[in-house]
């Protein structure tokens, strides 16, 4: 069974930093691209970042480019999101999500339970 478990969230002041982690199990982690998606309270879904299976290709939404860095450690089946220069508008529930495999192009077929990040003074 695929499991994704996020950790590392919390309350941080504007301008501060946090590092989110996502522990993966139940699948061959290195074979799949992974993503971070966030959801502000009561709002819709926003894609944040993606990383290829090997970790060499990374992509970001314009809203976080230059402030957030995605990485992975395939030896530890772990995904990370380093968030710097946090703003109030970064307050959200952050999900890690696994891209659907094979030749499929669009879809995230497994999601964690989410971790809350609150940016407030």
Partner 1 sequence: DIVLTQSPATLSLSPGERATLSCRASQSVSTFLAWYQQKTGQAPRLLIYDASNRAFGIPERFSGSGSETDFSLTISSLEPEDFAVYFCQYRSIRPPGFGFGPGTKVDI
Q: Residue 94 interacts with partner 1 (CB under 8 A)?
A: no
Residue 30 φ then ψ, to 5°: -70, -15
Q: Residue 105 interacts with partner 1 (CB under 8 A)?
A: yes
Nearer to partner 1, 50 or 79 (CB): 50
Chain positions 23 to 52 lying near partner 1, rule: CB under 8 A, are 35, 37, 44-47, 50
Residue 35: Cβ within 10 Å count: 21
Q: Which tokens go with 116?
A: 């809350």
- Nearest residue to 92 via CA among 24, 35, 45: 45
Q: Can you give the binding site for partner 1, defined by CB under 8 A?
A: 35, 37, 44-47, 50, 57, 59-62, 95, 100, 104-109, 111-114
């Amino acid at each position: 069974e695929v499991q994704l478990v996020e950790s590392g969230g919390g309350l941080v002041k504007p301008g501060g930093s946090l590092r989110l982690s996502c522990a993966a199990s139940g699948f061959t982690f290195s074979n799949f691209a992974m993503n971070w998606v966030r959801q502000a309270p009561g709002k819709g879904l926003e894609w944040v970042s993606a990383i290829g299976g090997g970790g060499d290709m990374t992509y970001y939404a314009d809203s976080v480019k230059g402030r957030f860095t995605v990485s992975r450690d395939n030896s530890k089946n772990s995904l990370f999101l380093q968030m710097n220069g946090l703003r109030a508008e970064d307050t959200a529930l952050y999900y890690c999500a696994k891209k659907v495999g094979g030749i499929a192009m669009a879809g995230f077929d497994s999601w964690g339970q989410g971790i809350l990040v609150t940016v407030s003074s």
